[in-house]
């Protein structure tokens, strides 16, 4: 799964074939479920930078309970995501993410990013939920099997899209078979990782100290959420 991520260098975002200004953003070091995340969605023939709440709530759901990750293996068949995969895909901006290595009841957090620290995009899906006069636009990050770097820590990883695949991912008439070819593990040799402090487990904390390298320490038990 992907349960936390960062966008600490939003000023480095570069989006091909997108000409509108991005909103001014402050660095984020601990983006958590239910928070708003920067995305790009297709609106007819154009594209729009917008904020979506992380945790997809299907339009037909009776309650506002979000799902933060969608598995590539079931994204076409699971009712929560199938319609969104067909027609409501999005790019979700990040420049790193956290994953936890479990040792029994204890989980050591690690931080993953590109070798050069550059921003990238997760493959996402989104939906609009309306209930009792309330409207929420929400999204989920698609996950796939882990690459060689991630697999030593966790068996899943978020899908990271190459820039040249953005057009295909966003176009409303893209074929499902072509889209699913994009949902593969990202090359491990393009990424790096290191252990970080357990402080990342506290969603109220959001500063640069969270991404600093730390010695792995499995002698402390803390809740993730």
Would you say residue 32 lies in a domain? yes
Average pLDDT over every residue of 7-36 = 85
Active site residue 139: no
Would you say residue 209 lies in a domain? no
Q: State yes or no: pLDDT of 147 exceeds 70.
A: yes
- Residue 54 structure tokens: 């992380």
Half-sphere exposure of 87 (CA within 13 A, CB side): 5
Active site residue 99: yes
Q: State yes or no: pLDDT of 7 exceeds 90.
A: yes
DSSP lists the bridge partners of residue 204 as none
- Residue 55 structure tokens: 């945790």
Q: pLDDT for 52-90, tens place per residue?
A: 999 999 999 999 999 999 999 999 999 999 999 999 999
**Domain assignment of residue 77, given as a range:** 4-96+117-190
Q: State yes or no: pLDDT of 161 exceeds 80.
A: yes
CATH number at residue 70: 3.90.1680.10
Would you say residue 107 lies in a domain? no
Q: State yes or no: pLDDT of 14 exceeds 90.
A: no
Among residues 79, 77, 76, the alpha carbon closest in space to that of 67 is found at: 79
- Using only C-alpha atoms, the chain has a radius of gyration, in whole angstroms, of 17
Please state, for a pLDDT cut of 70, what percent of the chain lies above it: 93
Would you say residue 222 lies in a domain? no
Structural domain total, the chain: 1
Would you say residue 161 lies in a domain? yes
Which of 73, 90, 99, 148 does the annotation list as catalytic?
99
Q: pLDDT for 102-146, tens place per residue?
A: 887 789 999 999 999 999 999 999 999 999 889 999 999 999 999
Among residues 50, 31, 47, the alpha carbon closest in space to that of 96 is found at: 31
Would you say residue 108 lies in a domain? no
CB atoms within 10 A of CB 178: 12
In the block, which residue shows the tokens 């929560």?
Answer: 80
Would you say residue 163 lies in a domain? yes
């Amino acid at each position: 799964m992907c349960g936390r991520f960062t966008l600490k260098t939003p000023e480095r975002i570069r989006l091909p074939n997108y000409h509108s200004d991005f909103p001014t953003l402050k660095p984020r070091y601990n983006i958590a479920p239910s928070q708003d995340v920067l995305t790009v969605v297709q609106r007819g023939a154009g594209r729009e930078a917008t904020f979506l709440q992380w945790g997809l709530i299907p339009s037909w759901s009776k309650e506002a309970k979000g799902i933060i990750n969608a598995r590539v293996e079931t994204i076409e068949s699971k009712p929560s995501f199938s319609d969104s995969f067909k027609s409501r895909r999005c790019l979700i901006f990040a420049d790193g993410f956290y994953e936890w290595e479990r040792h029994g009841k204890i989980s050591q957090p690690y931080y993953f990013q590109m070798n050069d620290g550059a921003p990238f995009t997760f493959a996402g899906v989104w939906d609009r939920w309306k209930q009792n006069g309330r409207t929420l636009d929400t999204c989920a990050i698609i996950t796939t099997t882990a690459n060689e770097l991630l697999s030593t820590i966790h068996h899943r990883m978020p899908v990271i899209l190459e820039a040249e695949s953005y057009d295909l991912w966003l176009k409303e008439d893209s074929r499902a078979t072509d889209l699913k070819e994009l949902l593969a593990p990202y090359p491990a040799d393009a990424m790096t990782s290191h252990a970080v402090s357990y402080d990342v487990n506290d969603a109220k904390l959001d500063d640069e100290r969270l991404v600093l390298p730390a010695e792995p320490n499995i002698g402390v038990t803390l809740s993730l959420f």
